[in-house]
Amino acid sequence: AVLGWGYRASDQRRWAVLHPACGGRQQSPIAIAARQAIPISIPAMELVGYQNPLPGPLTINNNGHSVALTIPKYSSEEEKKGFRLPYIFGGPLDNEYEIESFHFHWGDKNNRGSEHTLNDMRLPLEMHIIHRNKKYRSLAEALQHPDGLCVLAFFYQVVEFDAKLLTPIVKNLSAVENFNTSMQLPHTFSLSSILSGLDTERFYTYKGSLTTPPCAEAVTWVIFSDYLPISVFQMDNFRGLLSNQNLPLVDNFRQLQPLFGRRVFVRIT
């Protein structure tokens, strides 16, 4: 949008003026409560190609409201050689969804930062891995369909010991301190390496939206209940980034949205 948008409560209340979907009835994030989720027997999520190195060069971008990594598409030459982007299926999904990008939401303090809450808790960091339904050819097209995207959400917990999973990303954050800056990462890595040790068997799922403008109601959310570890030192690297108003880029999470009768499911393990 012309004037952009911000995360202050007074700014968030105005998102729907320029982006009407932000005022809809299937918005994200929401409060997730184990006791209120409906247990269902559904398949595990299958994360295909997550163990392969992501195609390079990976670009890291401070867009003023988050730090995002975009995944380059393989060329037709590379596709002929059999290279494929990571994709997912299973869980609540009826189709295959291919990775697009991933980014983070975090707080100024360790007691906040995540967009979804889990049993009334806010975690200090939440990672979103965005996948596009393969039946749609672009992100823009996918955003126009209720089954357009699947976002995998991962919570982080601050630990005392050295947590190194996010090192390939965190050690480059200082290079994109200012908003509207990007750089190519010197080394690619696999998604499995940043998810190492995570139990993917147990997750919540519900139908929602992008948590930022344009707030398209196109997202099947899959939210893992297991936590990934991050150190205080690594959290401080996120907090050193600058926003589109040249202020510390922190607390980039949206307020909780009403359920309006939607159901939240939890997978039976």
**Least Å from the CB of residue 161 to ligand B30:** 29
Asked if 135 contacts 168 with a C-beta cutoff of 8 angstroms, the reply is no
When asked if residue 65 is in the footprint of Zn ion (CB under 5 A), the reply is no
Contact partner at residue 139 from Zn ion, ligand B30, none, CB < 5 to 8 Å by partner kind: ligand B30
Selected catalytic residue, list 7, 50, 65, 116: 65
Question: In angstroms, rounded to a whole number, what is the distance separating the alpha carbons of residues 42 and 269?
Answer: 9
**Least Å from the CB of residue 67 to Zn ion:** 11
Asked if 128 contacts 99 with a C-beta cutoff of 8 angstroms, the reply is no
Contact partner at residue 62 from Zn ion, ligand B30, none, CB < 5 to 8 Å by partner kind: none
Asked if 242 contacts 178 with a C-beta cutoff of 8 angstroms, the reply is yes
One-letter identity of residue 142: A
Contact partner at residue 68 from Zn ion, ligand B30, none, CB < 5 to 8 Å by partner kind: ligand B30
**Least Å from the CB of residue 269 to ligand B30:** 25
**Least Å from the CB of residue 130 to ligand B30:** 5
Cβ distance to ligand B30 smaller for residue 210 or 250:
210
Cβ-closest position to Zn ion = 128
Q: Is 165 left (phi over 0), alpha (psi -120 to 50) or beta?
A: alpha
Distances in Å between the Cα of 100 and the Cα atoms of 68, 74, 111, 212, 225 are 11, 12, 29, 16, 23
Cβ distance to Zn ion smaller for residue 98 or 126:
126
Separation of first and last alpha carbons in the chain: 43
Distances in Å between the Cα of 148 and the Cα atoms of 5, 30, 137, 140 are 24, 19, 10, 9
Catalytic residue status for 136: yes
Cβ distance to ligand B30 smaller for residue 129 or 266:
129
Catalytic residue status for 105: no
Distances in Å between the Cα of 268 and the Cα atoms of 89, 188, 215, 265 are 17, 35, 30, 9
**What tokens appear for 43 in the block?**
């398949």
Q: Which of 128, 131, 132, 267 binds Zn ion (CB under 5 A)?
A: 128
Cβ distance to ligand B30 smaller for residue 147 or 164:
147
61: CB partners within 8 A, 6+ apart: 67, 68, 69, 70, 176, 181, 182
Question: In angstroms, rounded to a whole number, what is the distance separating the alpha carbons of residues 153 and 223?
Answer: 5
Asked if 100 contacts 130 with a C-beta cutoff of 8 angstroms, the reply is yes
Contact partner at residue 26 from Zn ion, ligand B30, none, CB < 5 to 8 Å by partner kind: none
Positions in the binding site for ligand B30 (CB under 6 A): 63, 65, 68, 128, 130, 139, 151, 210-212
**Least Å from the CB of residue 162 to ligand B30:** 28
Cβ distance to Zn ion smaller for residue 122 or 128:
128
**Least Å from the CB of residue 59 to ligand B30:** 12
Contact positions vs Zn ion (CB under 5 A) = 128
- Active-site positions read 65, 136
